[in-house]
Amino acid sequence: MIPRGLATGSLGCLLGLLLGAGAWAGEVDTPSAEASADQPFSLQQALKLPDWLRVSISYTAEPMANPIGGAAQTSAWIQDTALDLQVGAGLGKAATDWVELDHWSLNLNVNHVAGDVSYAGRIGAFLTPQTLAYPAGFYPTELSLERDAGTSWLGLRAGVIPINSDFDGTLMTAPILDSYVHSALNNTYNIYAGNIPITPFSALAARLDLHPHETLAVYYGWFDLKTAIPVITSLGAPVNLTPTKVGDAHILQLNYTPKGAVAATQTLPAALLSLGGFTTDFQGEGVYGSATWKSGLRLGLDDRVWIGAAYSPDFSLNQAPSFIGGGVVIQGIVPNRPQDLLILGGSHAGLSSSAPPAYPNRPYEGVLELGYRLQLNPNLNLQPTLQWIFDPSGREQPTPGILTTSVQISLSL
């Protein structure tokens, strides 16, 4: 659990921010408030940092309780504080003006996770209903050298990195999935191939980005799985983590953005078709993909519909060898709240009783998630969320369906 002093300090800080957000929200009709809505607080500007240095801090908390169902009615709080730092000659320039040196940058990301990681097991769920459910501790997640493709066709990154990098996460991701709280819906298609380094976990790795056409991007990533745990633990991450098997992971992914497709907004990502596959030594292989598009219906100011799936054929190596999900995210469905999001999604994750630790007693676990993201000010949002977990499969005896409630708190500076 979080130390009492840390929890009290965090809550006090958030209360102050919320009160400030309330004042901001109450003045939205004035010109000065409209200007402030377009001008979020920037740590970069507040510290008057040079153009070649970018620094940002983000804080996310996911308090959750289950008033109905499960093996027990209980609650948990978990939070992550992340620091991103980037150094590069081209950071303050337009990509069209870059010379070769401007393409290059040094990236650093560190995370501190605090809270209770045992919530899923205590309520009888196999998959964690909180995206941030990692062991508490300090994670030196990234130290890498990058060549940003800019307007050219070649990009690369090498060093200690996760698959879903905080700077421009690409592999095994679709941006729309970041809208969700449940781990099976958020980010990586619920791929459970052992020790795939997903933030905050990382490994020695290299990634190659090819952009042969304005609508097409090809990504290849190599990750040294035997370093996924030793590297971050040697730098301060929690030491009570499952040891990593020897081997490599290779990932190939194709992204296609149709020409003339709806472009990304400040709130919603661009339309995207993504297809990929991975192979890992001694731990199996699989394929995955997703599609994100605008519905064409009159759903608020803007919307995105998505579907996604993943499959691993070797059930003896993968705890969750299959996944299918889909949903819709609608922006501005409430009058005078143009930046708010209504979020609905669901997934079906097939489980394997033959993969270690071999304790799922039923063949699948499903989830339906409903959330509403309140953009209180340009830096702070709250996301009340309800989840219904179907067929919880983490216990030997059948567990009743679970209703969870949470309010995700996200602050970026």
Local structure of residue 283 (DSSP, 8 states)? T
Burial class (CB in 10 A: 0-12, 13-18, 19+), 407: middle
Beta strands in 26-77 (DSSP E): 53-61, 64-68, 75-76
Under DSSP, is residue 51 helix (H, G, I), strand (E, B) or coil? coil
Instruction: Report yes or no: 376 and 382 within 8 Å, Cβ to Cβ.
Output: yes
In this prediction the pTM is 0.86
Q: What is the pLDDT of residues 354-372, one digit of tens each?
A: 766 555 556 889 999 999 9
Q: Which DSSP helix (H) or strand (E) runs through 231?
A: helix 230-234
What is the rounded average pLDDT of the residues 170-187? 90
Dihedral angle at the C-alpha atoms of 136, 140, 141, 142, nearest 10 degrees? 170
CATH code linked to domain 40-412: 2.40.160.180
Amino acid at residue number 223? F
**Spatial CB neighbours of 64, under 8 Å, sequence gap ≥ 6:** 75, 76, 77, 119, 129, 130, 404, 405, 406
- What does the alpha-carbon distance between residue 8 and residue 21 come to, in Å, rounded to a whole number? 20
Of the candidates 397, 394, 334, 327, the residue with the CA atom closest to the CA atom of residue 359: 394
- What does the alpha-carbon distance between residue 223 and residue 280 come to, in Å, rounded to a whole number? 9
- What does the alpha-carbon distance between residue 179 and residue 173 come to, in Å, rounded to a whole number? 12
Q: What is the pLDDT of residues 127-158, one digit of tens each?
A: 999 999 988 888 988 999 999 999 999 999 99
- CA 263 to chain centroid: 21
Task: Please spell the DSSP secondary structure of 341-383, one letter per residue.
Answer: EEEEEEEEEE--SSSTT----SSEEEEEEEEEEEEEETTEEEE
Q: What is the pLDDT of residues 240-261, one digit of tens each?
A: 665 555 678 899 999 999 887 6
Q: What is the pLDDT of residues 91-132, one digit of tens each?
A: 989 999 999 999 999 999 999 999 999 999 899 898 999 999
Q: Can you list the pairs that 116-120 forms with residues at least 24 positions away whose Cβ atoms lie under 8 Å?
A: 116/1, 116/2, 116/76, 116/77, 116/78, 117/78, 118/76, 119/64, 119/74, 119/75, 119/76, 119/78, 120/394
